[in-house]
Amino acid sequence: MNRHVWHSARLCPTGDSTYTINNAALAIEADSIVWLGNTAELPEPFARWPSTDLQERWITPGLIDCHTHLIYGGQRANEFARRLAGVSYETIAREGGGILATMRSTREADEDTLFMQAAERLSTLLMEGVTAIEIKSGYGLDLVNERKMLTVARRLAAVYPISVYTTFLGAHALPPEFANRSDDYITYLLNDVLPPLADEGLIDAVDVFREKIAFTPAQCERIFEAATKRHLPVKAHAEQLSHLGGAALVARYGGLSADHLEWLTDADCKSMANAGTVAVLLPTAFYFVRESKLPPIERLRQYGVPMAVATDSNPGTAPSSSLLLAMNQACTLFQLTVDEALAGVTRHAARALGAEDKHGILAVGRQADFAVWSIDSLAELAYWMGHRLCERVIRRGEEIYRRMTLPYEKK
Ligand code: DI6
Ligand code: FE
């Protein structure tokens, strides 16, 4: 049985920098934490277990990326170049580019290709301390290809030491075979796609893209009704490009999260707070599409809406595999405090996945998922950009990643 003590660390057990333990020790048995506290007080028999001296390095809970589109074919650097020349994201989408361009390359790609490309991105996140991730479908847009994407997500979870939460995003864009028949497409999703994929155990939650270029409130509501009947939690891409009521709709269905939220109103904040719906902030997408409308952070604070931070990793608006970068951007662009950013990638992100009992904090009895950082202060997690800060990742008690030291680096 795996038994190990990690000691002489600085521990931030709940992703809250006002509650830390200096000279801390964590005792792990099998996949769980059996003791944590001051190293000097480590009781028997833990004091006799195999141990590692962390020499005052920081430990945080494993990070959680609660909004990604990690699985897709191809890339869209050409569209990036066009947008830099002044063409808008919406124009490109209406021309059949955008999500539909990625739909075509995703449909063309076989399962192994999708797996390998997503695995690269997943490994990058993992080496940054991420131990749980959400992955959406939504570039297949028919039964065969949505199943292909979700199957790849389950395969990633089987091969890589990371917890994967899948989200069905069939209502991401209207595929060409349903052009001008969006209600029929929703009917198709509800009759022919969602039921088999849910029965196959491929879906943990259901998302919709609530935008002018996507689906109407009535259509989103049909999806939410069907999801709720199957006891699947709901969430939405909402109020990113304009205010269209997606966040209030999610709140009405007691949904897990409403994501993006640049155009969120006071009333929406209130509904979300009452429903316990998490606000998922995606500053990398904001940055990459050069948005100017800021999400109402101060209002979210006032109403006590929990804020999570995620990468939104996708080929159109956030070609990123860095959650630390999203933390940095949440602070620089949205003026989150470092503490808010840290809570946003730990306990609030866990809540956005409906998995707050499993991930996001370190405590006795909890799963031992944590990251060891070569930093002096926690603020450095949001401060550095593009640095290798993560030294080790432990998931379910096992060390799954250790940063390589190059021969010419000093030890
Ligand atoms: N999330 C999404 O689903 C869309 N934007 C976003 O932030 C579009 C993704 C894409 O362009 O492929
Ligand atoms: Fe997204």
Closest CA to 198 of 162, 244, 232: 232
Q: Where are the beta strands (DSSP E) in 239-382?
A: 257-260, 278-281, 307-309, 370-373
Q: Could you tell me the pLDDT band of residue 17, with boundaries at 50, 70 and 90?
A: confident
Quick one: DSSP state of residue 295?
P
Nearest ligand atom owner, CA of 235: 2
Q: Per-residue pLDDT tens for 105-115? A: 999 999 999 99
Q: 99-108 and 143-159 are packed helices; what angle lies between their axes, rounded to 10 degrees? A: 70
Ligand 1 contact, 316 CB (< 6 A): yes
Q: What is the mean pLDDT of residues 1-29?
A: 95
Q: What percent of the chain has pLDDT over 70?
A: 100
Structure-model confidence comparison of residues 166 and 406, the more confident one: 166
Ligand 1 contact, 317 CB (< 6 A): yes
Q: Which ligand 1 atom sits closest to the C-alpha of 67?
A: 1
**87: pLDDT strictly greater than 90:** yes
Q: Per-residue pLDDT tens for 49-70? A: 999 999 999 999 999 999 999 9
State the first-to-last Cα distance of the chain, in angstroms, to the nearest integer: 31
Helices (DSSP H) in 230-322: which residue ranges? 246-252, 266-275, 283-288, 297-303
Q: Strand 3-11 to strand 21-29: parallel, antiparallel, or no bridges (unpaired)?
A: antiparallel
Q: Which of 95-99, 232-236, 300-304 has the lowest mean pLDDT?
A: 95-99
Q: Could you tell me the pLDDT band of residue 1, with boundaries at 50, 70 and 90?
A: confident
**178: pLDDT strictly greater than 80:** yes
Q: What is the mean pLDDT of residues 383-393?
A: 97
CA of 183 to the centre of ligand 2 (A): 22
Rounded CA separation 297/320 (Å):
23
pTM over 0.75: yes
CA of 98 to the centre of ligand 1 (A): 8
